[in-house]
Chains A and B, each alone.
Chain A
Amino acid sequence: MADTSRVTPLAATAPVMSPVTLLRIAIILTVLAVWELLSYSGWLYRDVVPSLLAIGRALIDLLTHGEYYFNLAVTAGEVGTALLLGGTCGLIVGITLGANRFLSKAFESYLYYLGPTPKIIFFPIMIMWFGVGPGSKIALGTLSCFFPVALSAAAGMRQIDKTLIRVGKSFRASTAQMVFKIYLPAMRHPIINGVRLGLGVALIGTLLAETKLSNKGIGFLIINAYSTFDMPRMYAMLIVLFILSIGANAFVGRFGGLDTIRRN
């Protein structure tokens, strides 16, 4: 895969469109054409594959109404709060486990195995604890993103090159200087990666919770479109949601690899 990344820029400097771009365009066009054909053929249930025009109209309709942005803000607020709470707890727990062998041996395997369990099943409990409002969604998002952040931070803490710590000590760095100039920068990749995973699962947790029980948020809009059988609207919302979440993920990744240290 390292080869390809080196090949692409070469191809990009070619005067005409590169074969890769052509192929991408061809694939997209084919998919769209097949889609359109399917929608006109009537082989599937009505509206399962709505015409592109209908989806386009739904997209415009969606993006030109304030209602969507209100619900987007609700969901974004829930996910942001969840990431902040779960990420902070995860970071603290992860650094503690990473710094202490005994604690890591005692508790880390629990985190490791609980990490990938389906979190949405805890939603009934969250409703009992935090009510049917945004509280239970935030709680579920927090619970989801705690695990990847904690596990990444613990692993990152252990992976810090011991030599760098010795360098800091040899220059008589204070504890605060050690933390901010050595430990945290040395852990930046695992931490950013953990936050990235955490963001992904917090988003899923919050949205799923919204589809299960809520009266606002993107998840609510999606399940609402389902119950009114408004398929074009549902497609439009899924498209926007995917673009937003992929963008957010790429942003966090770019933010983490900000300088020339990608190869480390």
Chain B
Amino acid sequence: MTPPAAPQSSNEILVVDDVLVRFDTPDGSVTAVDHVSFGVRPGEFLSVIGPSGCGKSTLFNVIGGLLGHTAGVVSVAGETINGPHQSIGMVFQEESTFPWRSVTDNVAFPLELIGMPKAQRIERARHFISLVGLDGFENRYPNELSGGMRQRVSLARTLASEPKILLMDEPFAALDEQTRLLLGDKVLQIQQQLKQTTLLITHNITEAVQMSDRILVMTYRPGKVKRIVDIDLPRPRTSEIVGSEAFGRYVAQIWADLREEASRGMRDEEDHMMQPAGSKS
């Protein structure tokens, strides 16, 4: 049932080893991520899926180095992470473009930070803008773009820092279904073109199956690894694969796992809703 655990081979570029995250709240400590271990291989597309409240966003922040963890080790190419690491590029769920910068200046941001000369960084930025399909929008400002386009700017900005690992937290969550599917295609295409190692955090099963080589299913609070599923679908893939029979089987299989966890989560939330009335006295 749960074969994954221990990081086996040294060819894994990102290793999450027995990571534990515990928060202290006034009511005692809450475990958000409970001894999670897995590894990501170079060039691989791995998705982490779980119901809301399974600590997957916490995991995202820990791997990205924005949040400390209580125990365990996260390492990239053998280097232990404490703080944001240059090999990891993050794409956030929320709107994260800088409204005061044009598309080009947004994408050139990480290059500016490392002091790359202006002409050179603009050229690099153009390259990545073109990669995400925003040619012709170089001089626009974020408020002149749609939500999907803005998210593509964020993606291009992160890619411009040429990270070894692309780490994304539900990057399409705020978009409508059609945009989400098309943008998924774009990400897949770029990922295969750049052989980009990618770790996607999501709660969307279709999205995960469509894109991933492997899917890691997490349990509801505390977040543990429930199962890792290999997705053996042919590549290159597009959103058309969504209709195939094999695709349906994977979705059903993962939903069976997830459903159990999600309903546990719902029950838990209902219990919490009931409490304040009693505890008020």
Q: Which residues of A contact B (CB under 8 A)?
A: 161, 163-164, 166-167, 169-174, 177, 181-182, 185-186, 188, 259-261, 263-264
Q: In the complex, what residues of A have CB within 8 A of residue B110's CB?
A: 171
A172 touches B99 (CB 8 A): no
A166 touches B141 (CB 8 A): no
A259 touches B141 (CB 8 A): yes
The distance in angstroms between the C-alpha atoms of A216 and B161, with both chains bound, is 59
Does residue B171 face the partner (Cβ distance < 8 Å to A)?
no
A164 touches B96 (CB 8 A): yes
A172 touches B86 (CB 8 A): yes
Q: In the complex, what residues of B have CB within 8 A of residue A186's CB?
A: 98, 100
- Nearest A residue (CB) for B140: A260
Q: In the complex, what residues of A have CB within 8 A of residue B96's CB?
A: 161, 163-164, 166-167
Q: In the complex, what residues of A have CB within 8 A of residue B65's CB?
A: 170
| Given A185-B98, A260-B141, CB of A169 within 8 Å of CB of B92 | no
A259 touches B100 (CB 8 A): yes
- Within the complex, what minimum Cβ distance (angstroms) separates B102 from chain A? 8
The distance in angstroms between the C-alpha atoms of A185 and B112, with both chains bound, is 15
Interface residues of B toward A: which range?
A: 20 to 34
- Nearest A residue (CB) for B86: A172
| Given A170-B66, A171-B109, CB of A263 within 8 Å of CB of B143 | yes
- Nearest A residue (CB) for B90: A170
| Given A171-B109, A172-B84, A185-B100, CB of A260 within 8 Å of CB of B95 | no
Which residues of B108-123 are within 8 A (CB) of A? 109-110, 112-113
| Given A171-B161, A177-B113, A261-B141, CB of A166 within 8 Å of CB of B99 | no
Q: Which 10 A-B pairs have the closest CB atoms?
A: A170-B90, A163-B94, A260-B141, A264-B99, A185-B100, A163-B96, A171-B110, A172-B84, A167-B96, A170-B84
Q: Can you name 8 extra interface pairs (CB under 8 A) apart from A166-B90, A171-B110, A259-B100?
A: A161-B96, A163-B96, A167-B90, A170-B90, A171-B109, A261-B99, A261-B141, A264-B143
- Within the complex, what minimum Cβ distance (angstroms) separates A263 from chain B? 5
B92 touches A167 (CB 8 A): yes
- Within the complex, what minimum Cβ distance (angstroms) separates A78 from chain B? 33
- Within the complex, what minimum Cβ distance (angstroms) separates B254 from chain A? 29
Which residues of B157-214 are within 8 A (CB) of A? 161
CB pairs A–B below 8 angstroms (18 shown): A163-B92, A164-B96, A166-B66, A167-B92, A170-B66, A170-B84, A170-B88, A170-B89, A171-B110, A172-B86, A181-B109, A186-B98, A186-B100, A188-B100, A259-B141, A261-B99, A261-B141, A264-B143
Q: In the complex, what residues of A have CB within 8 A of residue B232's CB?
A: none
B113 touches A173 (CB 8 A): yes
B100 touches A171 (CB 8 A): no
The distance in angstroms between the C-alpha atoms of A164 and B110, with both chains bound, is 13
A261 touches B84 (CB 8 A): no
- Nearest A residue (CB) for B88: A170
The distance in angstroms between the C-alpha atoms of A161 and B88, with both chains bound, is 22
B66 touches A169 (CB 8 A): yes
Does residue B144 face the partner (Cβ distance < 8 Å to A)?
yes
The distance in angstroms between the C-alpha atoms of A173 and B65, with both chains bound, is 13
Q: In the complex, what residues of B have CB within 8 A of residue A260's CB?
A: 141, 143-144
| Given A171-B84, A171-B113, A177-B113, CB of A261 within 8 Å of CB of B64 | no
Which residues of B51-65 are within 8 A (CB) of A? 64-65
The distance in angstroms between the C-alpha atoms of A115 and B109, with both chains bound, is 38
B143 touches A261 (CB 8 A): yes
The distance in angstroms between the C-alpha atoms of A263 and B142, with both chains bound, is 11
Q: In the complex, what residues of A have CB within 8 A of residue B144's CB?
A: 260
Q: In the complex, what residues of B have CB within 8 A of residue A163's CB?
A: 92, 94-96
Q: In the complex, what residues of A have CB within 8 A of residue B95's CB?
A: 161, 163
